[in-house]
A = this chain, B = another copy of it.
């Protein structure tokens, strides 16, 4: 190893990044303060100001807005050394709810999440498969109604629905820009139609980015990390100081479509040797089908994700042929993740998505080994591989969280707060 001398602390940088929020545009401030109150349980304005570097005046203003929205209330007081006791703030988890749905061709998961980020209802829905968008949207609308019934919620208690799915997408229009699974899906008014069918605002989000936001909702709010998301395909997300990296049109981070083998098979995207084709469920299942004994032994021939999960479970059960395919996949995914880290410079990589349901720890351990020996800036900082708290729900929870963030980061929050307060 040529490098290996200087290892630096990044804490002063992190503090500076946190402090910089103090000077920032007003709306993200609300999300940051809300997250801190959620994390700490009961906390005073002074503690909040200390923890964020915001001025007392800004904090007072932010807290007033959150109270006007009904999201935060006073939960008690704390004696101080000098005079007036400090009033403690706490979250009202039941103040509002958000719906999140993560879907691709092979899976669909819905959740209802409260303001504390807790899943109050979860629902596995039928996979969209190759069906038309109007059918799927009608089905989603039914499931949303059923989930709200299960949770005992009425529409006014629900902020909206976040759809976490694959790209390319036009987030602003609420449409996909890819003819998958059928040509009808391109430019189909996905968000608008689901809005009309449910009476709730609907936003769309990249599934991997949503998983990143979901991981944050379950943990620290101003951290920086990458997400590698694997369901039917592979995607990724990057969260920096608590905010998703979006690029010019929110269509970046397509880890599944970076070439890991210039002479590899052509991909539908126009590139060759894409990670999706070489290391994702597509590649693993294709290789498994080329081995008829293995395919028969594992009962393959269902949909892509189901077949992949069978190969993954067989690996855990000691099937050597299955294990070999998974080993190739883990190594290739790890090399692509090093690319992601070498380009985005993050210190943490979180794995999420249905494909990691059982086999996640195997991918995580292989990834850690490759990161430790191959990451370019490893002598500036280490890079940690982790599994999301709930790999199968993270993206749906993130979809729900996006709805809340959009409110907190838009001028509408101010109006809503004024109207309520």
Contacts and interface: CB of A to CB of B under 8 A. Distances in A.
Contact of A345 (B249, B255, B270, B272): B249
B172 A376 contact: no
B343 A344 contact: yes
A268 to B, nearest CB: 5
A252 interface: yes
Give the secondary structure class of A's interface. loop
Given A25-B23, A248-B381, A375 B8 contact: no
Nearest to A331: B262
Taking each of A260, A268, A331, A342, which has the highest tally of chain B beta carbons within 10 Å of its own beta carbon?
Answer: A342
A257 interface: yes
Given A186-B6, A259-B338, A269-B376, A253 B343 contact: yes
Contacts of A373: 270
A247 B12 contact: no
A251 interface: yes
Nearest to A262: B335
A170 B380 contact: yes
A347 interface: yes
Contacts of A248: 10, 13, 224, 240, 345-347, 381
A397 interface: no
A5 B272 CA distance: 22
A173 interface: yes
Most buried by B among A339, A340, A373: A339
Interface string A208-230: 00000000000000001000000
A146 to B, nearest CB: 32
Contacts of A375: 270
A247 B345 contact: yes
A314 interface: no
A377 interface: yes
Interface centre among A6, A248, A376, A379 (most CB of B within 10 A): A248
Nearest to A27: B23
Contacts of A170: 6, 8, 380
Contact of A179 (B5, B20, B332): B5
Contact of A342 (B183, B252, B331): B252
Tell me how many chains of this kind the complex includes. 2
A250 interface: yes
A168 B379 contact: yes
Interface in A260-299: 260-262, 268-272
B168 A380 contact: yes
Nearest to A336: B259
Nearest to A273: B335
A175 interface: yes
Contacts of A179: 2-3, 5
Given A247-B240, A247-B344, A172 B23 contact: no
Given A173-B8, A252-B345, A345-B252, A376 B168 contact: yes
A24 interface: yes
A86 interface: no
Given A8-B177, A342-B254, A249 B13 contact: yes
Contact of A6 (B12, B175, B246, B332): B175
A377 B252 CA distance: 8
- For the complex of A and B, list the 3 residue pairs with the smallest distance between their C-beta atoms, beginning with the closest: A247-B345, A252-B345, A23-B25
8 contacts: A6-B170, A6-B177, A24-B25, A170-B380, A251-B380, A258-B343, A269-B376, A270-B374
Given A10-B248, A254-B343, A270-B378, 12 more contacts: A5-B177, A8-B177, A24-B25, A167-B376, A170-B380, A177-B379, A224-B247, A240-B248, A247-B346, A252-B342, A253-B345, A258-B343
